[in-house]
Structure 1
Amino acid sequence: MITNNSTYDHLINYLHREVDTTTKLTYYFAVHLFEWMNATAVYKPVNSYGYLKPDGTYDGIIGELMAGTSHFSVVMFFMTKERMNAVEYVVSPSRVSVIMLFRKPSLASVTNIYSLPFHIGVWLAVMSLTFVSSVALTGSTYWEDTVKNRPRNSLMKQFTQSVYETLGGIVFQQGTSVEPQSVSSRQVVLLSLMAFMFLHTAYSANVVALLQSATDISGPEGILNSPMEYGATDIIYNHHIFKNEHRPVHRALWLKKGLPQGDKFFSTVEEGIRRVREGMYAFHVEQTAGFDEVQRTFLEHEKCNLGYFSYVSFPMPHLGVSKVSQYKELLRIGAFLLKERGVQARSSNRLVAPPPKCAAGTAFFTAVGIQDVAPAFLLLITIYSLVIVMFALEVVLHRYELKKEQNKEVRTILVSRNTQATIATP
């Protein structure tokens, strides 16, 4: 299976390992296998791994093996239920995987971090503390007015004022407009200010830490439930994997974010890794091709928040043997011997790229963007909108009250004039 003509020039020299990696890896395996068999191999290049056609036959490698025109596949392919009846799977020469590669997005870009610092129990405790502080402040100020013979408001009005003072002055640390005079009132205000000061400190510290945190996406659910986009390498098996996906989450991801992109969903390795580097993009790519491109284009600190996971659910790709080949058992024995004795391990270590290492030790400090504080701005806009609505209602109500008072005065004047006119009549 050759996707680039330059592969013919680099099958045995380990150059450009990111191009047709699996083909080069299995080619070395086939060379050692045929040497062990003392056989001469005739290689036949094809342009497809082998997929079921409408007439029930297979194209590509599977078709060659099924027809008996080839004995052994010098390329690995996924094990599927349909292919089990067409070929004999032998061995997986190396752990070559296709991965979904991405830069871990910031936690603030995926979820509302302003609700995460405290557990629901802490939020309930904060509301309870606010209520208790309001009740205590109401009782102390009401008793203070009684002792000092000052004009007192009604108990409900006093409680409403205490709630306002607690929310604005204590909870939001803006200070109170009324200075408590008694010792009990001052103690209530002091203890409440101290309690909410510690809550403010803990909340702010957690928010700052969460602003620099990254989201660890370990499956397609993370991409589906986040603003991330995704794509795949423009290679034949990716077209079949994504378009024929039937798993619920994977299918939903394809229909929501893959299918609307059309032909732009599939791209080259260079283009896909470039978009991965820009962020908020996941790319389905062969391991060596993806990691080598990352090593070539990423800065050291950009490798520190790199993430990946396996998207496909098939077992590791295996080599195949024709069911009708007279060399089937001999090929099977030789393949297992090469795998068990470590002959193939040398080629695997040179061709399969390991994950990039974070030489910087940790990711650099990330500047906070407008998207990270969007929930806070949204809350402010919501509150301002409610304030404008309440202000408009107050204006309407005030004008209604003024008009009502004016009508009342007019009626009083008219009644007074009528009364005077009646008295003046002889």
Structure 2
Amino acid sequence: MNCNHKSNFLSTIEEKYFAHPYRWIIADADNDSIQNLALLPGSNIVLVNQDTNSDQYVLKQGYKDPKTGQITGMSGRLQRKEADIGATVIFMTSDRIEYLEYLSMAFSTEFAFILRSPPISYVSNIYYLPFTGVVWICSILLVILCTLVIALTLKFHVMPDEGTENMTTSDYILFAVSSICQMGSEYLTKVLSTRISMFAFFIALLFVYTSYTANIVALLQSTTKSIQTISDLQNPAIRVGVDDTPYSRHYFKMENEPTRKLFYGTKIAPPGKPDAFMNISYGVSRMRDGMFAFHVETPQAYREIEKTFFEHEKCGLVEIKFFAMSDIWCVIQKHSPYKEILKANIMKIREHGIQLRERSRVYKSRPKCDSDGKNFGSVRLIDCYAALLILVYGFLISFFVFCAEKFLKSKFKHICTSKLEMYREQLTSPE
């Protein structure tokens, strides 16, 4: 904004403090949360009533070009002394200290990947989780022991029993499986000892079955806490997005840590494919659908979440930090004569609570989860994945056994026919 002539800005500060005519106030016009918020907390309250007749803007904070060494954006104008005051906050970096004067920290903010915790069935087999390994082993031993006891009582009973006298090993295995599934058995016995053993066996399995199904119901409504690191986000099932801001594009590209560099090259900006940069509203809407991690300034994301999410959808939000961002500061030209004036006024703003009030109005904290466990979702197809696998593998094994039986039967029939023909020829041939 052009301030060559006297303006409301000059009326705020006595004109005698200015050693030379004020030339430019460079404001960042990018449509992102930090840039637009810079003037809201009142960090540069001396700029609030400035003249607005000009439309002169610089569109970026500015970064140093590694090839040319030129500094772009607002930082470049301050470094080249084309501007005296930066009217927006900026991140503190080691290279900027050489040519910028940092006045005061505006406020603290955080950046992270935010995602809704996926259901446990997305990362684990929920049909195994209800029991610990020891309980599974004890349950299997219980079934084996009870089946053996029932088999022994049937084998060595005194009185004849027509209903079970022809039971084979496969029949006992099928009996054990059907008992586990609460299906009962087609075999009826009149042996009292066997009936008592079967009754105790069925009662024990009833309690095991009840405990198992109760845990399954709870697990179907639960979310996993296993996704906590950047390496976990490498899971192909999890899609990612990044808030499309100049500083996000810059800092993601400059990341050199091997894991994060690989993550950037495979998930955010893969070669030959569209990048994952998007605006906040679209990123949060995709995050709401699940299995999507969105990197954004967390308070701004939570403000959008408060407006668009249902209460139960606000539960189970996970934050994963990608890199440590510095706090944002108010800056001016190096060795500027306005340093003490602006610094004193910024401190007044902070002491009077204006900055805190504006920050609390614009920045939202993490939404509270008031309905955790109160909402019941429908069973998804992925929740039945293990059961479908058992069904498919069972049919495949059955088909292969069927083919083997057919093959062996035809082979055996051919052998029997050949031997029969050979014997017949031997009998009919003259001696």
Give the TM-score, by structure 2 length.
0.77
C-alpha separation in 1, matches of 2:154 and 2:409: 30
Q: 1:48 — aligned with what? A: 60
Q: 1:188 — aligned with what? A: 197
Deviations 1:280-334 (A, max 9, x none): 3232233454333334433444444555454432233333455544555676666
Give 1:206 shift: 1.4
Matched, 1:102 2:115: yes
Contact 1:18 1:292 in 2 (8 A): no
Which of 258, 271, 281 is the aligned partner of 2:268?
A: 258
C-alpha separation in 2, matches of 1:346 and 1:389: 73
Q: Mark the CA change 1:90 to 1:148 in structure 2 (over 3 Å): closer, same or farther.
A: farther
Give 1:65 shift: 4.1
Contact 2:302 2:364 in 1 (8 A): yes
Segments of structure 2 that go 5 or more residues without pairing to the other structure are 1-26
Give 1:393 shift: 0.9
Contact 2:130 2:216 in 1 (8 A): yes
Q: Mark the CA change 1:99 to 1:340 in structure 2 (over 3 Å): closer, same or farther.
A: farther
Amino acid at match of 1:107: I
Amino acid at match of 1:2: D
Contact 1:101 1:307 in 2 (8 A): yes
Task: Please state whether the residue corresponding to 2:293 is helix, strand or coil.
Answer: strand
C-alpha separation in 1, matches of 2:55 and 2:404: 84
Tell which deviates more after alignment, 122-131 or 387-396: 122-131
Matched, 1:166 2:165: no
Mapping for residues 229-248 of structure 1, pairs under 5 Å = 229-248=239-258
Task: Please state whether the residue corresponding to 1:93 is helix, strand or coil.
Answer: strand
Contact 2:29 2:35 in 1 (8 A): yes
Matched, 1:225 2:235: yes
Contact 1:19 1:289 in 2 (8 A): no
Contact 2:243 2:296 in 1 (8 A): yes
C-alpha separation in 2, matches of 1:375 and 1:100: 30
Matched, 1:204 2:219: no
C-alpha separation in 1, matches of 2:135 and 2:100: 61
Mapping for residues 98-137 of structure 1, pairs under 5 Å = 98-137=111-150
C-alpha separation in 1, matches of 2:219 and 2:347: 50
Give 1:382 shift: 1.5
Q: 1:364 — aligned with what? A: 375
Mapping for residues 266-285 of structure 1, pairs under 5 Å = 266-285=277-296
Mapping for residues 280-359 of structure 1, pairs under 5 Å = 280-304=291-315, 306-325=317-336, 335=346, 338-339=349-350, 342-357=353-368
Contact 1:18 1:289 in 2 (8 A): yes
Deviations 1:229-288 (A, max 9, x none): 121222211212333333344334333332249445222233223323333323223345
Give 1:222 shift: 4.2
Contact 1:288 1:352 in 2 (8 A): yes
Give the TM-score, by structure 1 length.
0.78
Task: Please state whether the residue corresponding to 1:318 is helix, strand or coil.
Answer: strand
- Cα RMSD for the two superposed structures: 3.7
Q: 2:28 — aligned with what? A: 2
Give 1:388 shift: 0.9
Amino acid at match of 1:400: K
Amino acid at match of 1:96: T
Task: Please state whether the residue corresponding to 1:397 is helix, strand or coil.
Answer: helix
Q: Mark the CA change 1:317 to 1:341 in structure 2 (over 3 Å): closer, same or farther.
A: same
Sequence identity of aligned pairs in percent? 26
Which structure: greater helix fraction? 1
Task: Please state whether the residue corresponding to 1:166 is helix, strand or coil.
Answer: helix
| Alignment length (residue pairs) | 396
Which of 400, 406, 415 is the aligned partner of 2:411?
A: 400
Tell which deviates more after alignment, 50-59 or 312-321: 312-321
